[in-house]
Amino acid sequence: MNRPAHWDETRARRIIADLAPLEGAALPILQALQDTFGYVDRRAVPLVAEALGLSRAEVTGTIAFYHDFRTAPPGRHRLQLCRAEACQACGCETLVAHLDRRHGIAVGSTTADGALTVDEVYCLGNCALGPALLVDGEPVGRADAGLLDWLVADLTGGPA
């Protein structure tokens, strides 16, 4: 997995300045910041607000509204669980509960050691192989508790 850059205000200002002239620039700016740093650092909020003539509350609200934005650095690995209807029908909610019960990892969180971030998504387009996952961007189909245990152990270096 590509490691994002550490927060750098100078680089953030350059990204913001390059994209600010775009119509509806808030989303492209926030996406570029997240692509670069792995998250939208709280220190970027006033920079974006100032560049676009928005309030800090508007920028913060945009970040909060879109579930793909994160405000903390992600783990070294990312596991995304599909929770769309087809995957629900195939048992994804059982996997969500298993992750929490067996491994103490809630969806939307990162393990304490920073090894793994678990996120939810709504449709990976892999419906025929549900429940579906993405592991560091690679699709995995027909996930079950055993596979999840193996993945968590492999990605965190812990026991299955």
- Which contiguous run of DSSP H or E holds residue 54? none
**pLDDT tens-digit readout, 98-123:** 999 999 999 999 999 999 999 999 99
Where do you find CATH 3.40.30.10 in the chain? 77-156
H, E, C per residue of 102-123 = HHCCCCCEECCCCCEEEEEECC
We find that the CATH architecture of domain 77-156 is: 3-Layer(aba) Sandwich (3.40)
**pLDDT tens-digit readout, 84-95:** 999 999 999 999
The three-state secondary structure class of 138 is strand
